[in-house]
Chains A and B, each alone.
Chain A
Amino acid sequence: MQLSCIKNLAIVIGSMLLFGCAATFAQESPYFVTYDHHMEEPGNLDIEASTTTDVPRAGQVYYFAPYTEFEYGVTANWTTELYLESDSTWNDSAIFTGWRLENRYRPLKREHIVNPVLYLEYENITEASKIQKEIEGTAPDLTSPNSILQPMKDHELEGKLILSSDLHNWNVAGNFIVAKNFSQTEGVEFGYSVGFFRPLATIASGSNCRFCRENFSAGLELYGGLGSTLDGFGLHDTAHYAAPIVSWLVSDNATLRFSVGAGLTHETNPVLIRFGYSYEVQGISGRIARMFGSKQ
């Protein structure tokens, strides 16, 4: 089962390379958890490989949780994404922990001081998932072995209200999360993430430099759980992180992102390290159409 998933993923990535992907501008925001109001450009596919890893406390497991994200711009105000995620826990096992399908829709046509985006996600994952793409409810289980967590399936529906603003070269964004797990009796869980970032230079030079300041952005993210209807809404026994974030536009079509999060409560890992590499492919839908004989 796991082998066939990896094989399928390899086929998809291999096919994309064979199609001859064209490059386009791909400066992604440095956020790992927070979403802003910028959608994927229509017809483009953003492929991203990211990892979440920890520095554990006593009793916590040491893990390395890679995930792959395929983000497609359906229209200028609708973006859809597929996540495939896995986990490798030290002295335990390496497993495929599930997939997520999410959609973001931006209802307003123009830029406003605050721009809302509606987000809906379906998750088919297991309790062994450790990518911590968001934190909702209390805290993820960071102590139990995968043999216990992997059989516990989560079929979860998650909604977010994304509010985001571009103000004087800064982006400020806040997400409120509501999630319902249909597989277990967890009630309705809540979470949040807020963040801001800014490019290090606000004017582009004429040269094609890679290390100049205009290619870097930096900021900060704060995210955590807000309890549930079962445990009570609030901060009691919840996990929270503060994470400086940096992104670097490596080439016209690729961005590297890095974040070192500090756990603010005892329910967290003391340090959460995230790393991401994204590559944007232009006009993927047209390429697929031509493969199937379209003359467009």
Chain B
Amino acid sequence: MRMRWSGLLIFLCAFFGYLAAQNLLYWPDPTWRAPESVAAKPNPLADNLRAAAGGKKLFMRNCAECHGKDGTGVPKKHSADLQLPVVQEETDGALFWKITNGNTGRGMPSFSKLPDLERWQLVLFVRSLRPVVKQDSLSKAPPGS
């Protein structure tokens, strides 16, 4: 009998946990802004091409789950499209701050557990995410467009 109640308790915790985990709406958070002093920080790895390769590996491990392998976001996770101008126009320092702090109210965890340089590597890789123009759409485009 006690086991049955324990099982019910575990099921209820799991069920309500599942409901609470659903981020039903995603919209950009206007309050999620890096302080100006931090946003002005330059990327210490900006000229290090080898570091960018490590950034891709870190992105696939840590970020692709929610943002997709190409950074366009995963609809069911309501995650941000990192190729959008609103993201790409951010400074390196601002991206570093957002990766470091996360935005837990909107489901973005903090990644301060990664060493500083690895977070800068992630910034390098996010910078490299650009919309991919498909060959099909190029061939179908009218001449002169």
Contacts and interface: CB of A to CB of B under 8 A. Distances in A.
Interface in B17-37: 17-18, 20-23
B76 A286 contact: yes
Interface string B90-122: 000000000011111111111011011110010
Contact of A76 (B10, B14, B100, B109): B109
Contacts of B23: 42
A51 interface: no
A238 B25 CA distance: 51
Interface in B55-72: 55-58, 60-62, 65
Given A99-B6, A106-B104, A110-B101, A206 B57 contact: yes
Contacts of B53: 205-206
Main secondary structure of the interface of A (DSSP, over half): loop
A109 B103 contact: yes
A142 B29 CA distance: 53
Nearest to A41: B109
A42 B76 CA distance: 13
A169 B113 CA distance: 8
Interface string A191-204: 00000000100111
A229 B51 CA distance: 55
Given A29-B113, A203-B121, A252 B107 contact: no
A114 interface: no
Interface of B: 3, 6, 9-10, 13-14, 17-18, 20-23, 45, 50-51, 53-58, 60-62, 65, 76-77, 100-110, 112-113, 115-118, 121
